Amino acid sequence: MKIFLLLFLLFQTLGAEVVIQELYSEDGILPLRELEKIQPVDNSPPPAPAVLPEAASAITVPVQILVIPPSGHDALWLPEKYLAARNTSIDVIISGVTYNVALRSSADILYVDFNSVFSKLGCTLQKGKDGIILTDNNKRSFNFNANGIIYGDGVEEKYPRFQGGDTFLPLVQTLRLIGYAAYCTQEKIYINPRIYEIGYKNSGVLIRANAKLQPGVLKQLDNPPRALIDMPYSAYDVSINILRVNDQHVSTVRAAQFDKGVVRIVMDLQNEHDRPVLSYTDGGRTMVLAFTQTKTDADTVHMPPTPALPPKTAVVPTPAVNTASAAQTVNYLKGLKVAVIAGHGGSDPGAPSKQGYVEKEITLEIAKRLRDALRAKGAVVFLNREEDKGMSLNDQAAFANNSKADVLISVHLNSFVNESTNGAESFYYKPIDFDLAKAVHEEIIKSTGQKNRGLRKAQLHNLNHTTMPGVLIEPLFMSNPKEAKLMKSPEFQQKIVQGIINGLEKYEQNKKSK
């Protein structure tokens, strides 16, 4: 609290606007950012849902500034424990429209009828070969069968339920999958589109959401000149709040969760004569605040500039007659920003071994080798520690998030009471983790020749509290006598590193080919 007060006073002293991040206690309210009230605004109820205008002349620019893709994420979640005991009904407000929905619970999991909630979010349901298939409003499909929810090769052990001809789906897990935001009180559940991207290009602000946004009212404010829009029935799920622009129209763009269910976008204007025009594209999923429809070569602004870091750039192969060999020269890791966590450290030794080594020493050795190998490939690497010093799990997650890395690699080693247990396993948690984790795990197995113990889903802190795709690797067991001999081997450590490098290259190549 003292640190927060000092920061607040510092911002006040500098005359800056204060962005407040509220961390609510477990009272059924989501941890949402809230922007300081700039000026009293109209607090009347937001307008009723209306058809959004499709502006043919609006700017539609392919801005690659995705922070959290709309594929489900735990940044926004429902506290099930407050509701799972209920088997009655509750009001569910979807983009401002209220529905009374029957609730069912089983094994502390909250279920709702598909037609009561998910059909209203643009989802469809059909029978599959061994279960049911849910297709969301972005045409992505998820299979629910006797094993749970299936996505890719991943499984979450939450099952559908059937009663009286109706299909009940787990509310929290399904909302995560299809990317909607939700929060609840003790008597109501609110489900809103999730804003996952904000950027500035061609003299316009672009705001993208996973679903159709309800129209907001654009206002002009004076002293200093600003343009402001409050977007009803929406959730802000981007890790940045301020864009530094400094062009002829705009100095900064600020965005935050102004109130529960209301996102506020503020443009600090260069002069009082600037008047942005509001339009919507992509069926209402993209909102554009533009000063001109004339396209320019202006740079895209997507986060406060970090002078020490080069921007991520696409690598274009040198033209050659043999296109196949030219493609092989592409460096998929150049410019990639990678956060590397060397597990444990300081007073936290991690797992011990009979040889006298502890996990924190080996993870640091592997992490440093990985750092050097990635930098040799042109990647930008953020290593959480260079020596034996401690860093809490919360600080590790904050380190990765603050680095604005594209991917996260968390290095750990395994241990078990049974010394014969051996092999490599890797972990993912968020849906956006899966493709990266799968590629890295498969390549570690190929590179090291280790027994494949599989790719597993686990709610690990490094994965659950970070915003980028991540993987936590455990390539060997320190408790196994044979593998304990390998862990200090420079050759074997390099095999682990090469597996990670190959996995990252495979992951990046697959992304670019989609």
How does pLDDT run across 442-501, given as a tens digit for each residue? 999 999 999 999 998 887 889 988 999 999 999 999 989 999 989 999 999 999 999 999
Structure-token pair, residue 99: 């529905």
Q: Which residue has the higher pLDDT, 188 or 406?
A: 406
pTM: 0.46
Contact indicator for 112, 103 with CB cutoff of 8 Å: yes
Alpha-carbon distance of 401 to 408, in angstroms, equals 9
Pick from 178-182, 249-253, 331-335, 372-376: least confident: 178-182
Structure-token pair, residue 202: 């061609």
CATH number at residue 282: 2.60.40.3500
User: Residue 391: how many CB atoms within 10 A of its CB?
Assistant: 19
Q: Is residue 333 part of a domain?
A: yes
**Residues 199 and 330 placed together within one structural domain of the fold:** no
Q: Which residue has the higher pLDDT, 80 or 244?
A: 244
Percent with pLDDT over 70 in the chain: 71
CA distances from 415 to 227, 267, 353, 354, 393 (A): 57, 53, 9, 11, 19
**Residues 370 and 422 placed together within one structural domain of the fold:** yes
Q: Place 292 in a pLDDT band, splitting at 50, 70 and 90.
A: low
**Residues 277 and 348 placed together within one structural domain of the fold:** no
**Residues 297 and 338 placed together within one structural domain of the fold:** no
Q: Across the chain, which distance is largest between two alpha carbons, in Å? A: 74
pLDDT value of residue 45: 36
Going by DSSP bridges, is the β-strand pair 131-135/141-145 parallel, antiparallel, or unpaired?
antiparallel
Q: What is the pLDDT of residues 262-274, one digit of tens each?
A: 899 999 998 888 8
Pick from 158-172, 188-202, 312-326: least confident: 312-326
Helices (H), ranges, 88-200: 171-178
What rounded mean pLDDT belongs to the chain?
74
Structure-token pair, residue 324: 């196949």
Q: Is residue 13 part of a domain?
A: no
pLDDT value of residue 43: 33
pLDDT value of residue 137: 82
Q: What is the pLDDT of residues 115-126, one digit of tens each?
A: 889 999 989 988
**Residues 398 and 442 placed together within one structural domain of the fold:** yes
**Residues 332 and 445 placed together within one structural domain of the fold:** yes
Alpha-carbon distance of 150 to 161, in angstroms, equals 15
Cα 57 vs. chain centroid, distance in angstroms? 31
Instruction: State the average pLDDT over residues 307-315.
Output: 33
* Residue 483 is a catalytic residue: no
User: Residue 25: how many CB atoms within 10 A of its CB?
Assistant: 7
Alpha-carbon distance of 343 to 460, in angstroms, equals 12
Instruction: State the average pLDDT over residues 59-85.
Output: 36
Q: Is residue 166 part of a domain?
A: yes
Q: What is the pLDDT of residues 195-225, one digit of tens each?
A: 878 887 777 888 888 888 988 888 988 889 9
pLDDT value of residue 323: 34
Structure-token pair, residue 361: 């020493």
In 260-406, at which residue ranges do the beta strands (DSSP E only) sit? 262-269, 277-281, 286-290, 337-342, 380-383
Helical (H) or strand (E) element with 372: helix 359-376
**Residues 495 and 390 placed together within one structural domain of the fold:** yes
CATH number at residue 475: 3.40.630.40
pLDDT value of residue 369: 95
pLDDT value of residue 477: 93
**Residues 198 and 285 placed together within one structural domain of the fold:** yes
**Residues 340 and 395 placed together within one structural domain of the fold:** yes
Looking at the DSSP bridge assignments, the partners of residue 265 are: 229, 255
CA quadruple 213, 431, 507, 450: dihedral, nearest 10: 180
Q: Which residue has the higher pLDDT, 187 or 426?
A: 426
Which of 227, 197, 209 has the alpha carbon at shortest distance from 301? 197
Instruction: State the average pLDDT over residues 280-288.
Output: 87
Cα 50 vs. chain centroid, distance in angstroms? 30
Q: Is residue 142 part of a domain?
A: yes
Is residue 425 scored above 90 in pLDDT? yes
DSSP state of 229: E
Contact indicator for 339, 409 with CB cutoff of 8 Å: yes
Kindly report the backbone phi and psi dihedral angles of residue 446, in degrees, each rounded to the nearest multiple of 5, phi listed first. Answer: -65, -45
* End-of-domain residue from the set 246, 277, 304: 304
Q: Is residue 64 part of a domain?
A: no
* End-of-domain residue from the set 190, 208, 235: 190
CA distances from 253 to 59, 256, 339 (A): 17, 10, 27
Please tell me the total count of domains within the chain. 3
Q: Which residue has the higher pLDDT, 495 or 47?
A: 495
pLDDT value of residue 402: 92
Q: Is residue 97 part of a domain?
A: yes
pLDDT value of residue 482: 92
Alpha-carbon distance of 176 to 75, in angstroms, equals 9
Q: What is the pLDDT of residues 90-109, one digit of tens each?
A: 888 898 899 988 877 766 67
Q: What is the pLDDT of residues 225-247, one digit of tens each?
A: 999 999 999 988 776 778 888 88
Contacts of 248 (CB under 8 A, 6+ apart): 203, 270
In 294-350, at which residue ranges do the beta strands (DSSP E only) sit? 337-342
pLDDT value of residue 204: 82
378: left (phi over 0), alpha (psi -120 to 50) or beta: left
**Residues 347 and 489 placed together within one structural domain of the fold:** yes
Domain residue limits at 175: 80-190
* CA end-to-end span of the chain: 46
Q: Which amino acid is at 349?
A: P
pLDDT value of residue 12: 39
Catalytic residue among 474, 483, 505, 508: 474
pLDDT value of residue 186: 66
Q: Is 13 helix (H, G, I), strand (E, B) or coil?
A: helix
Q: Is residue 300 part of a domain?
A: yes
DSSP state of 247: S
Helices (H), ranges, 31-82: none
**Residues 332 and 411 placed together within one structural domain of the fold:** yes
Contact indicator for 440, 409 with CB cutoff of 8 Å: yes
**Residues 352 and 421 placed together within one structural domain of the fold:** yes
Alpha-carbon distance of 74 to 176, in angstroms, equals 7
pLDDT value of residue 370: 96
Q: Place 316 in a pLDDT band, splitting at 50, 70 and 90.
A: very low
* End-of-domain residue from the set 304, 335, 370: 304
Pick from 63-77, 160-174, 460-474: least confident: 63-77
Helical (H) or strand (E) element with 236: strand 235-236
Interior CA angle at 471 toward 489 and 382, to 5°? 75
Is residue 377 scored above 80 in pLDDT? yes
Q: Is residue 93 part of a domain?
A: yes
Q: Which residue has the higher pLDDT, 147 or 354?
A: 354
